[in-house]
Amino acid sequence: MKKGGGNITTLKERILNSAVELFYKKGFEATGVREIAKKANVSTSMINYHFGSKKGILKEIMEIFFSQMNEFLDNEHIEEKDLEHRLRAAIKSLVFALRKNEKMFKIIMIQIPEDDKELVNLRVENLKKIIFKKVFMNEFKGFDSDIRYDIIGPALSGMIFSHFLLKDLIPQITGATFDDNFYEIYPDYIADIYLYGALKKLI
């Protein structure tokens, strides 16, 4: 029952970790409970016992993910007067937080069964409350009403989200590698592009 490093990993955690790996790699629907149970070295009925159902794992993943995002993103609500600094700080913490939980993020964004209204609503409400409100909407308050907030906010969220959603695909196309060095510069580079434009970099 002991795992290296002195940490005790409960059977429930083992199921959860195994599920995250498998859902990330193959998708929720394509992953069977027998496969999760085998990877976690438990019997399949433990999934129902601890999570209520296969879908219950998704619910738990979401609760853990949004709880952690709430924690990471809350730290950044320092009262910066300057939009640029606020945005840079927000981007930095968001990239940091998503990187820490990138498997859960991807699962939540694209593996939630759309016919499960409870899970779908849970996702929307938490995305709204924890990520969008803090990073992509509050930052743009108080500007002109002519501004297309429906484009300008999602443009930034799209840059960042897509990085994590397509993170396994992009290296196959561009040959990029995403190591620690990469993430040292990524947030500010993205912020530069977003705030000042790509031409500033190119010309």
User: Which residues are near a second copy by CB under 8 A?
Assistant: 25-27, 29-30, 83-84, 109-110, 113-115, 123-124, 127-128, 132, 137, 140, 143-144, 147-163, 165-166, 168-170, 172-176, 182, 185-186, 189-190, 193-203
Cα atoms found within 13 Å of the Cα of residue 198, Cβ hemisphere only = 1
Query: Residues for the chain: how many in total?
Result: 203
Query: Residue 96's binding partner, choosing from DNA, a second copy, none, with beta-carbon cut-off 5 to 8 A by kind?
Result: none
Work out what residue 63 binds among a second copy, DNA, none; the CB cut-off runs from 5 to 8 Å by kind.
none
Q: Is the dihedral of CA 179, 28, 132, 201 positive or negative?
A: positive
Q: Select from DNA, a second copy, none the partner in contact with residue 199, using the beta carbon and a kind-dependent cut-off of 5 to 8 Å.
A: a second copy
Which is closer to a second copy, CB of 64 or CB of 152? Answer: 152
> In sequence order, what DSSP letters do the residues of 141-191 get, joined into one string?
TTS-TTS-HHHHHHHHHHHHHHHHHTTTTHHHHH-----HHHHHHHHHHHH
Answer with the entry of DNA, a second copy, none that 50 interacts with (C-beta below 5 to 8 A by kind): DNA
Coil, helix or strand at residue 8: strand
Closer of 22 and 97 to DNA (Cβ): 22
In the complex, the smallest distance separating the C-beta of residue 2 from DNA, rounded to whole angstroms, is: 12
